[in-house]
Structure formats: structure tokens, C-alpha cells
Structure 1
Amino acid sequence: MADASSQIARTVPTRRAGRLREFWKYFSENRGAVIGLYVFAAFAMVAIFADFLAPYDPTTQFRGSELIPPFWQEGGEWAFPLGTDAVGRDMLSRLIHGARFSFFVGIVVVVVAATGGILLGLIAGFAPKWLDTLIMRLMDIILAFPSLLLALVLVAILGPTLLNAMIAIALVLQPHYVRLTRASVINERTKDYVTAARVAGAGYLRTMFVTVLPNCLAPIIVQAALSFSTAILDAAALGFLGMGAQPPTPEWGTMLADAREFVLRAWWVVTFPGLAILVTVLAINLMGDGLRDALDPKLKRS
């Protein structure tokens, strides 16, 4: 008996290691995905250690140092490597702390949207036809509106803050998780292993969350990666329109909004936040493509 238990204990980690090796094999075939993963990892490290990496406080104003261009030497030193904005705040420090806000927005939006979407999708997949129809028609109504416009309306109702912007973006992205989860559940619930679990006496909750849900996670993980980049873009768009993070918060969209009137005579105050958004979103989308290739059995090459 003890030998059998020890054999099982050794087999489970071995299977997990084999799955990880298989995942990395297919993921690493996409060079863009690997580059995106490295850029995303760097982005996460910058967000986590922003307090140590930023040379100044992002809200500190240096009087007399307004709109200093990048790489301007003062006293033989580069006091502001990426220049300053219109009120003398260090651009590098604000970009670094902006990464923290963007990372936080992405995490919160994905967690909230995925949690609510998976629950509703599971309910719709197992519910009677009338409840399934009701849930899906509500999701269709949400999807019928342009996502940014609907987020703007929700923020206008709730109030222009970063927290309300995250709530609005999460609600707008939730229908994608509902539809994905429901489709996967309907595909899985007729399979033999689900029937066997029911015959063995598994209740609805156990069947939903233990038996079926783990086999529906692949498309949800890919959607989560893509939603992360969408959340960053939408938060930046709301911040640019004055409906997201409010000054002096060092959020990339808000930084672009503050720099609009200086675009012709101080290119750096617009270019660097725009590049930060571009590189981050592109890296996450590339990583999402790699996740799709590695997790979708139909795309795996022998």
C-alpha cells in the first residue's frame, strides 16, 4: 500500500513536468510570443519595483526645469534622462510608476471579468433553456454597444476615477468570458467522463467546478491574456478623455492627455507614454498568440 502511494506521489509531479515541457515546446516555436513573454516579464518587474527604479517621486515638480528635453546635461549629469513635462516632473519616473498602474489595472480587470464571466458561463451551460437564453441575450445586449462607449457611459454614471474605470472595463469585457465558457461547457458536458462523474454521484456544483471547468480553461487563459492588453488600452483611452485616472496620477493615458497642448514643441511628453502603451500591448498580444498556439490542440503540429 505504501509502495503504491509513493508511486502515485512520484507520478503526479512527473506528469506535470511533462505537460510544462510540452507547453513550452509549442509556445517557444512562436518567436514573437517568446519575445512578448520577456517584454511582459520586464514590464511586470518594473511595475513591482517601481519605487526602487524611479529616480524621483512621480509627482514632484522641479521648478525651473519645465519641458527639459531628453538627455539634457545639467552640470555634467543627466538629471532627467527622458526629460520633464510641462510642470517639471521627471518623465522617466512617471513612466515607471505608470507601468505599476497599468499592471494593476490589467490584473484587477482580468480577475473581475474572468470570475464573473466564468460563473455566468457555467450557469448558462448547465441551466435550463430559459435561463440560458436570458443570460446570453443580456450578454448580446452588452456586446451590441461599442466597448469604449459603454465604458464611458458607466464611468460617467459612477464617477471619473481609476477604480470606476476598472469596474466599467471589467463589465464590458465580461461577456467574452461568458460566451467562451458556455461554449466550452456545452462541448464538454456530453462527453463520457462527465456522464461517468454523474453516475458516480457527483452533484451539479462538483460537476461544474471540478469535472468540467478544468477542461475549459485553455481558451479562457488565452482570452485573459488578450483582455489584459485591452484593459490597458481602454484605461489609457479613458484617462486620455479625462474619465479615468485623474492628475497628478502617473497613468500613461492621463500623461498623454496632459501633453496634448505641447505636442508640437515638446515631442517627448507625448512620444514616451505612447511608446510605453504600444510596446506593452504589442508584447501581451504576441504572448497571447503563443498561448493560443500552445493550448489549442487543433493548432499543435506533430
Structure 2
Amino acid sequence: MADTTTPTRPSRLAEFWQYFSENRGAVIGLYVFAFFVILALGADFIAPHDPTVQNRSATLQPPFWQEGGSLEYLLGTDPLGRDILSRLLHGARYSFFVGVVVVVIASFGGIVIGLVAGFAPKWLDTIIMRIMDIVLSFPSLLLALVLVAILGPSLLNAMIAIAIVLQPHYVRLTRAAVMTERSKDYVIASKVAGAKLTRLMFKTVLPNCLAPIIVQAALSFSNAILDVAALGFLGMGAQPPTPEWGTMLAEAREFILRAWWVVTFPGLAILITVLSINLMGDGLRDALDPKLKRS
């Protein structure tokens, strides 16, 4: 007797992981990112020293494997005698916090404006998109610098500025997805059934537009870390003695030739973190975009 049982379809999470895990770079990026997140969350317990405490008798001490180094300061000290390893661990917390806040603010505002533009009359849609085009016409870092200069140098103002700069990307992406979805049968059926505009926007159309937005959020996370580090390096972001990676680079730039470790380790932290997030973004795109999935 023939077997008439139909194979069970894997859950959405299992299907997502199947496609995501096919990208080895994305899996490696996920593990590296998770490792950095664990370090950031446990910085208070892992860091061997207070990141702001100065030891004037141990300024510019090299890493432990180099002549003159010690196991007390594994990665050496900065010009003020502060432990670099401890500052890196606490700096990861600041960087990830900035990334989360910027992505939440930029995506929330961008999604709402994009939905409004997608369902608005043509004249209002045109006005919204031209404003977004004007914002996008400026170099992102330059615009963020101008906004921080107006608001005042601080980590909070840097986050606000970066969120404003990244928001137009979400607006354009959401609007494009809405324009594609609103002509489909399920949306038309909801209109005929008498669904209100807000329900149509947020409950009917938005869930089907989330895939590209999630990928954009991952890429925006890495951009936010880079931008806040750049603003910190220019003195417009986090202010000393905050252990933020960009600020660490700014404080050590005049010691590059005689103390390589003071700039190398913060630079590597930024490089590895951003690279791992970008690799994860590629995996998310492969897993969430149905056009890239193999049948």
C-alpha cells in the first residue's frame, strides 16, 4: 500500500535558519557578534579594571607579550594609564547601545512616514519623497556633524543626529514595499471588506514589508556604530572620559608612532564588529528575500 502521508513543512524559524546557515560568512558573523554582545553585557564582571581610573605610573604600557608589558594590563594602557582592555569592553556596551537606539528611532519614524507616503495622495507623497531626497543628497557624516553642532556635542545628540540621517532609507524602502503590496488581491479584499486605513496600513500591509526592513536595520546598526565612532573621533560624539571606541581613537591619535596599541585595538574592535554585522546582514537578505531562495 502506497504511503499517502504528506511531508510536514518546517516551521518558519527552522526554514529561516536553513537558508541563513547556508551562508557560512553570516553564521561566523552571528557567532562573532554574539560573542561581542556577551562581552558587552558582562563588562562589569569581565573587565579587570575600572575603565576611567588613571594610573599615572603605568602610562603607555605595552601589551603583556611585548617587552615592558605586564599581565596586570593585558592589552596595555593609554596615555593616562587607563586599562585598554577594560575600556574596550565597556566601549562595546556604548557602541551596541547606540546601534540599538539609532535603529529603533530611525526605523520607527521611517516606517510610519513610508506607510503614510505609500497610502497618501500623490501630492503629499511627492512632498514627502522630495524632502527625503534632499536629506539623502547630503553626505551622511557631514549632515550628522551639522546636526550635532546645532544640538551640542554629546552621545545623546550624536544618536539623534545619526537616526535622522538614516531615517530616509527606511522611508524609501517602506514606501517602495507598500506600493508593491497595495495593488495585490489581499489588500483589495481588505478594502472591500471595509478595513479602516490604519488597520490596512499596520496590520495588513506592514507585516508583508518587514523582510527588506529587517535587512536594512542590520546594515543601519553597523552604520550607526561607524558614524558614532567617527563623531567621537572628531570630538562631536561621546565626551571624555567615556570609554567609547571613537573617543579612544581621538585621545590616542598623537601617540600612533610610539604606542601602536592605543589605536590598533579600538580600530580592530570597530572593524570586527562592523564586519560581523554586515556578514549577518548578507545572511538575513539571503534568508528573507524569497527571490533568492531556491525551490
Normalising by structure 2, what TM-score?
Answer: 0.95
- 1:198 Cα deviation (Å)? 1.4
1:283 aligns with 2:276: yes
Moved more, 66-75 or 78-87: 66-75
Kept in 1: contact 2:114–2:173 (CA 8 A) = yes
**Distance in 1 of aligned mates of 2:13 and 2:155:** 37
Asked if the contact 1:73–1:79 (Cα under 8 Å) also holds between the matched residues in 2, the reply is no
CA RMSD, Structure 1 to Structure 2 (Å): 1.6
Q: Does 1:267 align with 2:260?
A: yes
User: Any unmatched runs of 5+ in structure 1?
Assistant: 1-13
| Alignment partners' CA distance in 2, 1:73 and 1:138 | 54
Which residue, out of 188, 194, 201, partners 1:208?
A: 201
Partner of 1:66: 59
SS of structure 1 residue aligned to 2:58: coil
Render the CA deviation track for 1:166-221: whole Å, top value 9, x for unaligned: 00000000000000000000000010001111122210000000000000000000
1:183 has 2:147 as partner: no
1:275: how far off? 0.1
- Answer with 158-167 or 42-51: which moved more: 42-51
- Aligned match of 1:257: 250
What is the one-letter code of the residue matched to 2:84? M
Equivalent positions of 1:1-302 (< 5 A) are 18-71=11-64, 78-302=71-295
Q: Report the secondary structure of 2:273's partner residue.
A: helix
- Cα distance between partner residues in 2 of 1:236 and 1:77: 29
| Distance 1:172-1:75 versus aligned 2 partners, 3 A rule | closer
> Contact 1:113 / 1:177 at 8 angstroms: preserved in 2?
yes
Output one character per residue of 1:54-94: Cα deviation in whole Å (capped at 9) or x when no partner: 11110000120000000169999600000000000000000
CA distance in 2, matches of 1:187, 1:70: 55
Paired amino acid for 1:93: S
State the AA in 1 paired with 2:276: A
Conserved? CA contact 1:72–1:83, under 8 Å: no
Cα distance in 2 for partners of 1:72, 1:258 equals 24
Q: Are the counterparts in 1 of residues 249 and 267 from structure 2 also a CA contact under 8 Å?
A: yes
SS at match of 2:80: coil
Given residue 127 of structure 1, which amino acid in structure 2 is its aligned partner?
A
Query: What one-letter code is carried by the residue in structure 1 that aligns with 2:122?
Result: K
Aligned residues of 2:63 and 2:70 also touching (Cα < 8 A) = no
Residues 131 and 169 of structure 1: is their aligned pair in 2 closer, same or farther, counting only changes over 3 Å? same
User: Alpha-carbon deviation of 1:47?
Assistant: 1.5
> Could you tell me whether the CA contact under 8 Å between 1:27 and 1:293 is conserved in 2?
yes
Q: Which amino acid aligns with 1:162?
A: L
Change beyond 3 A, Cα 1:151–1:75: closer
Q: Distance in 1 between matches of 2:69 and 2:169?
A: 54
CA distance in structure 1 between the partners assigned to 2:66 and 2:264 by the alignment: 20
Q: What SS is found at the alignment partner of 1:61?
A: coil
CA deviation string 1:68-121 (max 9, x = no partner): 000169999600000000000000000000000000000000000000000000
Moved beyond 2 Å, runs of 4+: 72-77
- Distance in 2, matches of 1:129 and 1:61, equals 60
SS in 2 for 1:78: coil
Q: Give yes or no for contact 2:61–2:76 (8 Å, CA) kept in 1.
A: yes
What percentage of residue pairs aligned between the two structures are identical? Answer: 80
Please say if residues 72 and 80 of structure 1, whose CA atoms lie closer than 8 Å, have aligned partners that are also in contact. no
Asked whether the 8 Å contact 2:64–2:70 carries over to 1, the reply is no
- Alignment partners' CA distance in 2, 1:181 and 1:247: 38
Counterparts of 2:216 and 2:266 in 1: how far apart (Å)? 25
